[in-house]
Chains A and B, each alone.
Chain A
Amino acid sequence: MAYYRRGSSADAMARGMGWFSLGFGAAELVAGRGIARWLGMEQHTGLIRAYGVREITAGVGLLAMGDPKPWMWARVAGDVLDIATLATGLNDDNPRRRNVELALGAVAVATALDVLGSGMLHREEEEALTPPHDYSDRSGLPRAPDAMRGSAKDAPIPDELRTPKILQFHPIGMG
């Protein structure tokens, strides 16, 4: 079974990307035409809406479908698709070329986060699946701890490090 742990920092990152996917996907779906226009790529309105559906799917996957690793990789694949699509808008006769460059920059940042997050999730799995070193025999004591309890009660501890009798918890005279 795949390992993942809710609440770890890798998981927090995956959830963050999940919420981002949901939000951005919704925007692509609802405002597909506006985005396309802004990019000077109106012919791709349909494609952008489809990408919105893809983002929402990844978002739901990341937030609600257990192991986030496959969904993180799905996001990475989606990022590559986004980059390829945006690259077609980089030609000189696109008056909105500057916006396409901005969008590419943003996608690059998202890609970096996705790759980083996937890496973190895999490392976490690796660590969790290697059994910890067993140091249960390293007591440093000649007998069982319970048998050693208090065997240094006679230690020379200077008075100034002692709690004044009147401030001690136990009844005076004990111990």
Chain B
Amino acid sequence: MRALVWHGTADIRCDTVPDPGLEHPRDAIVKVTSCAICGSDLHLYDHFMPGMEKGDIMGHEFMGEVVEVGSEAKSALKVGERVVVPFTIWCGDCDQCKRGNYSVCERSNRNKATADKLFGHTTAGLFGYTHLTGGYAGGQAEYVRVPFADRTHVKIPSGLSDEQVLFLGDIFPTGWQAAAQCDIQPTDTVAVWGCGPVGQMTIRSALLLGAKQVIAIDRVPERLSMAKAGGAVTINFAEESVVERLNELTDGKGPEKCIDAVGMEAHATATLDSLYDRAKQALMLESDRAHVLREMIYVCRPAGTLSVPGVYGGLIDKFPFGMSMNKGLTWRMGQTNVNRWTDDLLNRIQEGQIDPSFVITHTVGLDQGPEMYKTFRDKQDGCIKVVLKP
């Protein structure tokens, strides 16, 4: 089959690789009909996340048709069914899964020993996302093996297009969880850093959950225009001071809820801390650039909440933790517990409360995937979200 394969920094190719087969009775094989490139994939493309190996198949946001089911998954899944596959693989039986914390499932990471060492305790297995989270082949391919398939799926009723439901596997629940874990109140101002696909979903989620005001921060004009379409007040951080504007918009008190939908590759306009971060990252003394986190801690209203869907991979430096402690801030973060939200969100899509396909700007074949990684990363051609059709 054909698949997008990681070969090194900024080197992803559409290769022919062996078809996957069942390896465990709880597995299923899915024939992919649509998949997407996620901002998290860019951290692998730019090689800021450790743990990739040459030959790894990319992709963790995908859907398709079930073509083979292992004996122990048969009660939950049938050949021919249409499913979206969540990027967090979960077993359903461990203590964490029982509490709904699927992204820290204790069993689905088959490289648990390594993860235990690195994180203290393992997190869940993820598709196409380094050997620290299981080294599972990803979904930017014609076929995927889905482990723990009896749990790790969302069944899709007929009548909905791929485009409407594809993002149930990642960015829609990610934006939703980012907002939901802020426990948004009707009096809240929610500031969202980053108007990429995750930021866009977060903005809509915060609005639907009832925020009084949603403020979106980025510097890419078309992303800001899409944020505005979703009801946000926008700040272009290349042209205005984020802290000043946020204070202005909140009577000098700062937003109650701050959400980082940017992650470890944050940009900043020639501030001292950004130069420091870039130098340190280049020297491999620091793996993540923390500009957004610092800004959130600084501007957030005391006793407010910081929610971090943005992905970080390792160490950060010059972190104003004292400020955070003294202001009594609450931190919420994590990979998304996808299946925890999908029933409700699927309902909302069916009812027409939201149509997540608004974010798609590019749809191409799998073979054009490699160039699309570049287009998406460099925000060329108005690119916000890429869907690939294997």
Contacts and interface: CB of A to CB of B under 8 A. Distances in A.
**Which of A134, A145, A152, A158 is the most central at the interface, judged by chain B CB atoms within 10 Å of its CB?**
A152
B8 interface: no
B225 A12 contact: no
B83 to A, nearest CB: 22
A129 interface: no
10 contacts: A132-B220, A136-B226, A142-B353, A151-B208, A152-B210, A155-B208, A163-B305, A163-B330, A168-B185, A175-B210
A147 B180 CA distance: 20
A135 B229 contact: yes
A140 B231 contact: no
A65 B381 CA distance: 32
A138 B354 CA distance: 11
Contacts of A167: 303, 330
B230 interface: yes
Given A146-B231, A169-B185, A141 B226 contact: no
A132 B348 contact: no
B229 A153 contact: no
B210 A150 contact: yes
B23 interface: no
A175 B353 contact: no
A150 B206 CA distance: 8
Given A152-B209, A161-B332, A138 B229 contact: yes
B367 interface: no
Contacts of B270: 7, 9, 12
B257 to A, nearest CB: 10
Contact of A149 (B207, B301, B361): B207
A163 B291 CA distance: 26
Contacts of A132: 220-222, 225, 382
Given A134-B225, A138-B229, A142-B353, A163 B210 contact: no
A9 B274 CA distance: 13
B77 interface: no
B356 interface: yes
Interface string B356-368: 1111010000000
